[in-house]
Every structure is written in structure tokens, then in C-alpha cells.
Amino acid sequence: MTVLRRRVAIAVPDGVHARPVAELVRLAQAHSAPVTLSTDAGERVDLTSILALMDLGLLPGDEVTLEVADAPGAAVLLDSLVAVIAPR
């Protein structure tokens, strides 16, 4: 299975707290294939798990890698996920 990846620095001023987590989970749950987030510390979580994502305690400047299994809409989903944690 092909996977789309994007490395991004957290740019949400307060870090990845309840509101961004809820949006990431909502987007991931709507996708038909696996969506994960990995940290530089080697932690890897399924983006459909609110608790797993909250437990990471991601702060501004932390770098993560988003991975989306290549399926219809995967590139758009990846762009949407990045927009949540690193808005321009």
C-alpha cells in the first residue's frame, strides 16, 4: 500500500489541544484508510484516537510526520490535516 507523508512543525499557538485534536480526529475518521501521526520521539498514533493524540502533548514547534494511506481523497485529506496543525 502506498502512503502519502508530510513532515510539519506544529504552528497552532497553544499547541495541539482539544479543539485541533477534535478536528484532526473528525477528518481522519471520514477517510477510508489508515491515518497516523508520528513524533520525533518515535511515538506513533492512529489519528482516529482522541486520547492517543491528546497524550502526545504536542506544542508549537514540535515536528511531526503525518501519514495517510493512498486512497481516493488522500492528498486533500493530508492538506486538510496540515491546515489544522500548521495554519498559514
Tens of pLDDT, residues 7-33:
999 999 999 999 999 999 999 999 888
Domain count, the chain: 1
Q: What is the pTM of this model?
A: 0.94
13 is in which domain, residue-wise? Answer: 3-85
Between CA 54 and CA 46 the distance in angstroms is 11
Q: Which spans in 2-73 are helix H?
A: 18-29, 50-55
Q: Which residues pair with 9 in a beta bridge?
A: 63
Instruction: Kindly report, residue by residue over 31-83, the tens digit of the pLDDT.
Output: 888 999 999 999 999 999 999 999 999 999 999 999 999 899 999 999 999 99
The CATH number of residue 67's host domain is: 3.30.1340.10
Beta pairing class for 3-9 and 63-69: antiparallel
